[in-house]
Structure 1
Amino acid sequence: MTRKEKTSAFFKQSELFDYMVTRPLSHIVPNWELTWNLKENRVEPEEDSLAEEVNRLLDEISEVQPPKEYHANEDVLAEYVKSHLNWNIYKKGNRWESSDYEAIINQGSFGDEDQKNLILAAAGRIEAAIEHGQTNFDDMEYGHQKILAMVMASILYQRIDFSKILN
């Protein structure tokens, strides 16, 4: 199975993906519910939705080599938050302390050029889940699922063309 096929299979007909990834962006793009097209093996494009952006994101994730140490890519985002936004966060062992990790990822996304670290973190989290027998987004361990959802929502947010929405 190719990486693209594995990525598609991972998100195929997920019950939770749109709820956890596109719904938090529904104040910007109102049509958050996604429909999986079984024939095309992709999300069905719909008006006022992020479906096409989700398809592009899944393609992009499938094209990168998933890092074994995806936390290093997330650490880059946390370091940005610490140094550029002056958040009082610190790393204790392998965890960032003193703030909500999802908030760190979200705010760090603003300093991630072309969302490179976010893309690698997503690819790494997906690969790790599959290696642990969690072959679909809905099967992921909740804590990891929640972070992957935030990573993907942050990528989508950074790529929204607000000029089209505000007109």
Structure 2
Amino acid sequence: MINMKDFFRNSNLLDCLALRQLSHIKGNWELIWDHENEEYESEENSYAEEVNQLIEELGLVEPPEKYHVNEDGLAEYVIANLNWEINKVNGRWVGAEYALILEQGGFHDIDETNLILAAAGRIKAAMDRNQNHFDDMEQSHQKMLADVIAIILYHRKSP
């Protein structure tokens, strides 16, 4: 199993890339690493507790080899149920911003199962390429993982 806590440990970029976009929900988007407890420090109006729980949850799942299958399922839901005119061309979804496709598809993703598996798969893919910490990821993959994390947290805060 992947040590997700090490992957996200004391990140300088996770809060900026994943949580700032959710600041309209919780204004305190910055994370502080608690070295003694080895987790993000819980603060009022912060995502720290949710991030810690998500990191724990990611550590419990078996990352899929092909995480795009989980993301494709969300896109296919958007096509079938929201009638979006998107399609996959040469392995990429076109017709709308990819993160928006995943966000909208995520409304039907019970317990964010596909999003969790996609995130775990993206982390495994990064580690397979010796990118062993969130801050060390290739930039476009790092941004997409941050978006997936933000989408998970957003859906968990949505009524």
Same structural fold, with TM-score higher than 0.5 when normalized by the shorter chain: yes
CA positional deviation for 1:139 = 0.9
Q: Name the Cα RMSD after superposition.
A: 1.2
What percentage of aligned pairs have identical amino acids? 52
CA positional deviation for 1:161 = 6.3
Task: Return the letter of the residue paired with 1:159.
Answer: R
Q: Which residue of 2 aligns with 1:33?
A: 30
After superposing on structure 2, the runs of 4+ consecutive aligned residues of structure 1 that deviate more than 3 Å are: none
Q: Which residue of 2 aligns with 1:153?
A: 150
- Tell me which of 89, 98, 112 is aligned to 2:95: 98
Task: Return the letter of the residue paired with 1:47.
Answer: E
Task: Return the letter of the residue paired with 1:27.
Answer: H
Q: Does 1:141 align with 2:122?
A: no
CA positional deviation for 1:40 = 1.5
Paired residue secondary structure (1:91): strand
Consecutive unaligned residues of structure 2, counting only runs of 5 or more, are: none
TM-score of the two chains, using structure 1 as the length reference: 0.91
> Could you tell me how far apart the structure 1 residues matched to 2:66 and 2:94 are?
19
CA positional deviation for 1:85 = 1.0
CA positional deviation for 1:75 = 0.3
CA positional deviation for 1:146 = 1.1
TM-score of the two chains, using structure 2 as the length reference: 0.96
> Could you tell me how far apart the structure 2 residues matched to 1:82 and 1:143 are?
25
Q: Does 1:60 align with 2:60?
A: no
Judge which range, 38-47 or 55-64, deviates more.
38-47
Consecutive unaligned residues of structure 1, counting only runs of 5 or more, are: 163-167
> Could you tell me how far apart the structure 2 residues matched to 1:159 and 1:56 are?
12
Q: Which residue of 2 aligns with 1:165?
A: none
Is the 1:105–1:150 contact (alpha carbons within 8 Å) kept by the matching residues of 2? no
